[in-house]
Amino acid sequence: MSMKVRATVDDLYQVPEHGKAEIIDGELVRFMPTGGIPNRASGNVYLSLRLHERAHGGGYAVADNAGFIVDLPHRDSFSPDAAWWTGELTMKFFAGPPAFAVEVRSENDYGEAAERDLAAKRRDYFAAGTLVVWDVDLLNDDVVKCYGGDDPDQPRIFRRGEVADAEPAVPGWRLPVDELFA
């Protein structure tokens, strides 16, 4: 009988080429690099959050590939595509969940298995204490599905031509959906 060794935060620090990974069910799960269009979309969210941070404070904009350490039964970390952090900044991974997390779908984030995985990840975000999670689908008319911890199964929908928000996680911040495609 072989016993697997549970992955640790130290293992995250040792991911080769500083790649993107999360600890899920005790295993280090690496993620493929993002394609051009999803990367630009997450970058545009980060840029808008950064401008909001500078103008209003209240938290910190976080770009892709940051590690958030959590303590859940099946998950020890998150690495959203963009996020809003209201805790203390250190040189280490963020200690706790982001207030707001953005997950931008890549080309492999479609189909029944992907939908199950994304729903499970949202449940984990909310269990850890995240207030709002965006599921950004650049191939769908419902571009931004904004899930809140108060009603995690009923997203608010934002489409092209509309202005999305992340209330109450990022008070006063707004992003025109069309900016995701800029």
Residue 45: CATH number of its domain: 3.90.1570.10
Are the C-beta atoms of residues 20 and 82 closer than 8 Å to each other? no
Q: Do residues 47 and 176 lie in contact, with contact meaning Cβ atoms separated by under 8 Å? A: no
Domain-located, residue 59: yes
Instruction: Answer whether residue 29 is part of any domain.
Output: no
d(CA 72, CA 24): 9
Residue 5 lies in a domain: no
Name which of 62, 65, 63, 64 is nearest 21 in CA terms.
Answer: 65
The percent of residues in the chain predicted with pLDDT above 90, rounded, is 77
Confidence of residue 127 (pLDDT cuts 50, 70, 90): very high
* Mean pLDDT value across residues 81-108: 96
In a domain, 38, yes or no: yes
Q: What domain range is 169 assigned to?
A: 34-181
- Distant-in-sequence, close-in-space partners of 138: CB < 8 Å, separation ≥ 6: 37, 38, 41, 104, 105, 180, 181
| pLDDT of residue 154 exceeding 80 | yes
pLDDT at residue 167 is higher than 90:
yes
